[in-house]
Structure 1
Amino acid sequence: MTTDAGYVVRRARKEQGLTLAQLGERTGYSAAQVSRYERAISPLTDVDVLWRFATALDIAPADLGLSARPPAGPRPGLSGEASPWPRLPVPRVSRRPEQGEEEEQMKRRNVLAAGLAVTAAAATGIPLPAGAGEEQTPIEAVLVGRLRDAMLGIGAPIDPAQVSPEAELDRALAAFHACDYTSLSTRLPNAIRGGHAQEQGAEQILARAYILATRMLVKLDEQQLGWMAADRARQYAEAHGDVMQSTEAARQLAVLARRAGWAREAMTLALTAAADPRLRAVGSDGAAQRGLLVQSAAYTAARGGDAQGMRDLTNEASAIATTLRGTTRLRHHGGGFSPATVKLHLISAENSAGDPSLALTAAQALSPQELPTAERRARYYTDVATAYAAWGRRDECVRALLAAERVAPEETHARPAVKSMIQGLLVSGRTTGELRGLAARSGLRD
């Protein structure tokens, strides 16, 4: 496939006297997206996208590296029966144990959990009283362990007739927004187990549960389990035909790809999902989902050192948010999408682009009280702390971390990125009682 596809499209558009907006109307993309394709900011490699431009501009297929005929049938993974990944049936991962078996399994798990807790504590240098079990394990380790077991089908299944997977998922989402890891470590695994145990009709519940699991696993730097959860989320969303969940799963996959160092693939995942024509049929929620995906692409641009590309994409997300008239849409998609969340994203992106002064300028344009959830407000303060740390302003950094702790203590104590920042402060200069106290509460020692 030619690497000059964007140039070919631009030349044909110019020859026909079309504006970016006019070509966008013909192909279903925004003017900004067409411009990114033409300038090779977004990779123009998807066969279906290339055929759209070839058809709209009457370009010879060979000029775009295409075969003589367009691919027949629906686009794989988006509609119809064809799909580039296997469909997962709602699995029954284990038979229901008899009462005596279940009690014996519980005893074995308790013994194993106690042993693992002691081993983990010894490895990290955290003192653990003799005889202590899972209750002494850091809550983030409990959460990850329970999610892993639920995803692998280890342990007793949930009876969906007695414990509603949907109700457990609703409680898990509320716990996520409140940064209540203790509740989340029970509710989310229950939702996954209950969804898998349900005879039929659980695809949407499982898609949403696995998206939330991915989000938490990414927060906790558990990328291996994150890939597993995100792929399952995508499969269940597509099996249910839910464009909102399938594009949200694509956003989580883009985050994982970016963290793996696959910037081009991360950008492709996010922008291809944003261009999904099915989103335009969903109204304001579809627009908000496009905005979230454009934000993800902007962050990828920032991580790649393309500060201007990041700001262009952020401006596009901001324009989408403006059309929503100040409302917060899709609150359960990681806190939602609104003008305030776009401003929050800009703080993170400027940090990632390497300019803490611009990150702090962006922070001054946003009051954390404008943000919809405790989780988003905690992110605001940790992003501010990140900027101060990069600037070498230790006291302001500690104050921002303490503000994050007041809003969301379990989140602040558990996130590896925050703990790493605290550890860096401990070893890089003078310490204060406030810093040492925060470190101790986070399981760190100076």
Structure 2
Amino acid sequence: MRRRTVLGALTVGASAVAATGTAAALPIAVVNLDDMLFRLPSAAPAPIQVLARQTAAARRAFTAARYNDLASGLPGLLASAAATAAESTGQARQQANAILARAYVTASELAAKTHSDAAWVAADRALTTARASGLPIPVGEAVRVPAITMRRSGNCASAVRFLTTEAAALDPTTERTGAVRTTLLLTAAYSAAAGSDRASSLDPLGEADEIIERRPHTPNGLFTVEATKTMSALYRIGVHTTLGTPDEGVQIVQGLNISLLTTPERRARAWTDIARMWHALGNSEQAFTALRRVEEEAAQEVRRPALRALTTSLLYSPTRVTGLRDFAVRTGAVPA
């Protein structure tokens, strides 16, 4: 597959959305992944440098919440990276496997946005190819996605054990392995909260904060999420809400500077967690205000099934909130 084919697929759709202003009207489509993970399109091997640029472009599409653009171009990228890994040897094969693992990480995260079962397939392939690379950073990054699929299927305790075991294998004293270890601990904390295990959720948060305090200026460019104080605070909000103690998140929200999160997808996720917190506290107006901020950051985020369900729950709550019905119709939560 030629470089311009993949990059074009990742960028042309975004230009069209910008020109028409219809981003909020677009559903998130991952049909291509569901169909093609088991039968990727034909593609020729590509130079490692080209694959690295294509994977970076795919990740930018994800972090900018351009999910439809990403879905259209990702199968071709996966096919090209897989062909390269299969036909390479030595260091080139190691690098190709690391790139392929990161492409599958992105595929799994994209599928998870719509609770698609394709997330399982992509997550397994991400970890398998990451381990084949023999590189600790891609392995650590890939570990998150099968753990997330475990949690979503209700296997929270298994997810926590997997994440904490893999985190323990990463050196916390060096910048990049320490940063990846931190992200695994944060994910473990949220997974434990989803299983109603308060002790197992707060302990990883504490360890993550200790690593961040020792190295507060972690390197930018981690492939998954950044290991920062702001990110840790965001996870704490989600943990407390999930544990049924959303009031403990209110003070955290008051001190949270969401602008420090570097991507639209992460900022939208922050506002999503804040919306859930206020909804759990029974404050529909504040929850709706947070949902509108999600839409401002990333229009396709509010069309995710989980966000539409939250919008519907707010709409049919006893509190009547001005503008909520129009928002629900616009985002596809209810029919027009």
CA shift for structure 1 position 381:
0.7
The code of the aligned residue for 1:228 comes to: V
Residue 424 of structure 1: aligned partner? 313
Instruction: Give the TM-score taking structure 1 as reference length.
Output: 0.63
CA shift for structure 1 position 431:
4.6
Kindly tell me: are residues 398 and 351 of structure 1, through their superposed partners in 2, closer, same or farther at Cα, counting changes over 3 Å?
A: same
- Answering whether residue 146 of structure 2 is matched by residue 240 of structure 1, we say no
Kindly tell me: are residues 170 and 356 of structure 1, through their superposed partners in 2, closer, same or farther at Cα, counting changes over 3 Å?
A: same
Aligned counterparts of 2:271 and 2:307: Cα–Cα separation in 1: 11
CA shift for structure 1 position 355:
1.2
1:186 equivalent among 52, 59, 72: 72
Kindly indicate whether the alpha-carbon contact (under 8 Å) linking 1:165 and 1:195 is maintained by their aligned counterparts in 2: yes
- Answering whether residue 318 of structure 2 is matched by residue 438 of structure 1, we say no
- Answering whether residue 69 of structure 2 is matched by residue 176 of structure 1, we say no
1:140 equivalent among 25, 28, 53: 28
CA shift for structure 1 position 301:
2.3
Map 1:308-387; keep pairs closer than 5 Å: 308-333=199-224, 335-387=225-277
Q: Deviations over 1:126-146 (max 9, x none)?
A: xxxxxxxxx9x95412xx111
CA shift for structure 1 position 239:
1.1
The code of the aligned residue for 2:72 comes to: T
CA shift for structure 1 position 188:
2.2
Kindly tell me: are residues 177 and 295 of structure 1, through their superposed partners in 2, closer, same or farther at Cα, counting changes over 3 Å?
A: same
CA shift for structure 1 position 332:
1.7
Q: Over alpha carbons, which structure has the higher Rg?
A: 1
Q: Is 400-409 or 239-248 further displaced after alignment?
A: 239-248
Kindly indicate whether the alpha-carbon contact (under 8 Å) linking 1:203 and 1:236 is maintained by their aligned counterparts in 2: yes
Aligned counterparts of 1:398 and 1:328: Cα–Cα separation in 2: 34
Map 1:63-102; keep pairs closer than 5 Å: none
2:108 equivalent among 184, 203, 214: 214
Structure 1 unaligned spans of 5+: 1-95, 97-134
Aligned counterparts of 1:191 and 1:379: Cα–Cα separation in 2: 26
Residue 411 of structure 1: aligned partner? 301
Aligned length: 304
CA shift for structure 1 position 180:
1.4
The code of the aligned residue for 1:183 comes to: D
Q: Deviations over 1:205-247 (max 9, x none)?
A: 211111111112222211x211111111111111111211222
Instruction: Give the TM-score taking structure 2 as reference length.
Output: 0.83
CA shift for structure 1 position 422:
0.6
Q: Deviations over 1:64-111 (max 9, x none)?
A: xxxxxxxxxxxxxxxxxxxxxxxxxxxxxxxx9xxxxxxxxxxxxxxx
Kindly indicate whether the alpha-carbon contact (under 8 Å) linking 1:388 and 1:394 is maintained by their aligned counterparts in 2: yes
- Answering whether residue 184 of structure 2 is matched by residue 299 of structure 1, we say no
Aligned counterparts of 2:192 and 2:321: Cα–Cα separation in 1: 37
- Answering whether residue 161 of structure 2 is matched by residue 275 of structure 1, we say no
Which secondary structure does the structure 1 equivalent of 2:101 belong to? helix
Q: Is 303-312 or 231-240 further displaced after alignment?
A: 303-312
CA shift for structure 1 position 360:
2.1
Which secondary structure does the structure 2 equivalent of 1:152 belong to? coil
The code of the aligned residue for 1:401 comes to: L
The Cα RMSD (Å) is 2.4
CA shift for structure 1 position 173:
0.5
CA shift for structure 1 position 287:
0.6
The code of the aligned residue for 2:198 comes to: A
Aligned counterparts of 2:129 and 2:173: Cα–Cα separation in 1: 19
Aligned counterparts of 1:207 and 1:427: Cα–Cα separation in 2: 42
Aligned counterparts of 1:444 and 1:173: Cα–Cα separation in 2: 27
Aligned counterparts of 2:202 and 2:71: Cα–Cα separation in 1: 37
CA shift for structure 1 position 304:
2.5
- Answering whether residue 42 of structure 2 is matched by residue 153 of structure 1, we say no
Aligned counterparts of 1:391 and 1:153: Cα–Cα separation in 2: 46
CA shift for structure 1 position 418:
0.7
Which secondary structure does the structure 1 equivalent of 2:154 belong to? coil
The code of the aligned residue for 1:158 comes to: A
Aligned counterparts of 2:212 and 2:124: Cα–Cα separation in 1: 28
Higher RCO (CA < 8 A, seq sep 6+):
2
Map 1:22-101; keep pairs closer than 5 Å: none
Kindly tell me: are residues 158 and 226 of structure 1, through their superposed partners in 2, closer, same or farther at Cα, counting changes over 3 Å?
A: same
Aligned counterparts of 2:209 and 2:68: Cα–Cα separation in 1: 35
Aligned counterparts of 1:445 and 1:290: Cα–Cα separation in 2: 41
Kindly indicate whether the alpha-carbon contact (under 8 Å) linking 1:213 and 1:229 is maintained by their aligned counterparts in 2: yes
